[in-house]
Structure formats: structure tokens, C-alpha cells
């Protein structure tokens, strides 16, 4: 941390040997950052000079809610082990279930953490998905995120841009370009549109492009061929 008044450097992590990265400030001045050494998101309060920790094995920082009450981030989750069925002499062989077929696999779900209590809510629910890169809308009503469906007949090589309510309800896809990976989501100040980057995962030599879309799904327009990491001008 650099104090702009005094020019002095400080280390909120308190232990200089810890590997930390991806700082994110809340609206009230608290600082969240990824502590790779501890595999946790640290939330540092400059008033009390104390930190709390949120377990994180995905290595992705996530996003603060605009009111500073929540952090949403992707976390690796494992499906429950299938319940063994006792064999019965003369019985027909058991047909594999989705539970048994998915045993040993892992997924990436979006967790919403109540920062004051560390209570976790799984916003991805029971869907077999790979969710990543959540970003709150400025009004706090929506989350934009990247999703790859892992159900066999819905799988795509690229992650699509999805939208859900801040409580995880009404999740829906805004894009449906199977071979394009969508990332770097940035909300317009009025929470009505998103700009983002996309690239063709089947043609890695091609340059990425920057696009814009309305949250209704309308008006998808290419803005900058060969563009990277878009931002809105204030």
C-alpha cells in the first residue's frame, strides 16, 4: 500500500513473505486481496488493523458488492460421492446415474460471502457448470459472469456471458457463441449495458475483439476488432 499523503509504503498482509495479489477496495475503504500462500481472500480493515479470511482454492479474487456487504467469487466444489447400492443376487445391473457419472469431477460455482459473518451462499445452485469472473452491476441488482455448461449436450468450448440477479435468481445467457470465450466484463455506469472481450478458442491465432450488449440481450455489437480489456470513460 502507498499512502498518497506521506509517500510511505505499508503491507496490510503484515507478513512480508506471504504471496498476495489482486487488491480490491470496498466502498467503505476496506481492502480485499488474494493471499495465495494461505489460499484465502483476506479482508483488511484499516480502522482496526485486523484481517479476516475467506477460504479460496480457485485462485480468483472475485468482486465486492457496491454496498460492501458481500464478496462473490468462484470456488472449486466437488459433487457428493454416489450412495452405494447393495447388490442383490439375480438382480439386473444398476444403470449409471448422473451422480455416479460425475463422481470424481469438480466444478466452479459462484459463492456469495456475507463479509461480516463469512456465511456462504452458493449462487450457482445444483447446476453442473463452470462459473467464473463475476462482476456486480453499479446498482447492485445484477451479477454478470462467465459460464460454461458441463452437461454433455450443453457443453461448449468457450465460456458464455451470463446474467443473474444478485441473489442468484433468474440466471440467463446473454451470448450463445459456442467457440467464443467471453471475459473482461465491464458495466456501464447506468447498469444497462456491458462491454466485454471475446476470442475464438478454436482459432488461437485470431485477435480478440471488444463487444457491447444490452442486459436484455439486444444490441450485441462489435466495437473494436483486435481490442483488449475495455473500460468505460467516466
Which one of 12-26, 37-51, 61-75 scores highest in mean pLDDT? 61-75
The reported pLDDT for the residue numbered 85 is 52
How far CA 8 is from CA of 1, 23, 51, 172, in Å, comes to: 8, 18, 21, 46
Model pLDDT, residue 98: 47
pLDDT, greater one: 42 or 154 = 42
* pLDDT at position 4 over 90: no
How confident is the model at residue 96, as a pLDDT? Answer: 46
The structure's pTM equals 0.84
What CATH class does 63-79+99-225 carry?
A: mainly beta
Q: What is the mean pLDDT of residues 3-18?
A: 71
Comparing 33 with 83, the larger pLDDT belongs to 33
Cα separation, 164 vs 156, in Å, equals 20
Amino acid at each position: 500500500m502507498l499512502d498518497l499523503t506521506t509517500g510511505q509504503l505499508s503491507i496490510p498482509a503484515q507478513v512480508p513473505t506471504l504471496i498476495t495479489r489482486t487488491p480490491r477496495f470496498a466502498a467503505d475503504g476496506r481492502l480485499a486481496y488474494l493471499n495465495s500462500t494461505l489460499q484465502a481472500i483476506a479482508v483488511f480493515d484499516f480502522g482496526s488493523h485486523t484481517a479476516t479470511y475467506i477460504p479460496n482454492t480457485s485462485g480468483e479474487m472475485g468482486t465486492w458488492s457496491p454496498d460492501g456487504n458481500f464478496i462473490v467469487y468462484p470456488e472449486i466444489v466437488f459433487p457428493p460421492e454416489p450412495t452405494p447400492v447393495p447388490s442383490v443376487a439375480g438382480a439386473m445391473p444398476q444403470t449409471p446415474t448422473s451422480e455416479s457419472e460425475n463422481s470424481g469431477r469438480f466444478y466452479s460455482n459462484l459463492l456469495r460471502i456475507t463479509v461480516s459473518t463469512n456465511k456462504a451462499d452458493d449462487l450457482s445452485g445444483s447446476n453442473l457448470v463452470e462459473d467464473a469472473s463475476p462482476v456486480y452491476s453499479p446498482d447492485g441488482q445484477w451479477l454478470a459472469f462467465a459460464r460454461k455448461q458441463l452437461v454433455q449436450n450443453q457443453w461448449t468450448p468457450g465460456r458464455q456471458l451470463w446474467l443473474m440477479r444478485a441473489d442468484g435468481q433468474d440466471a440467463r445467457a446473454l451470448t450463445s457463441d459456442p467457440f467464443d470465450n467471453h471475459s473482461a466484463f465491464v458495466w456501464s455506469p447506468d447498469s444497462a449495458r456491458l462491454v466485454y472481450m471475446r476470442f475464438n478458442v478454436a482459432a488461437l491465432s485470431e485477435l480478440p475483439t471488444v463487444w457491447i450488449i444490452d442486459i436484455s440481450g439486444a444490441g450485441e455489437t462489435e466495437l473494436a476488432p483486435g481490442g483488449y480489456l475495455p473500460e468505460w470513460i467516466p
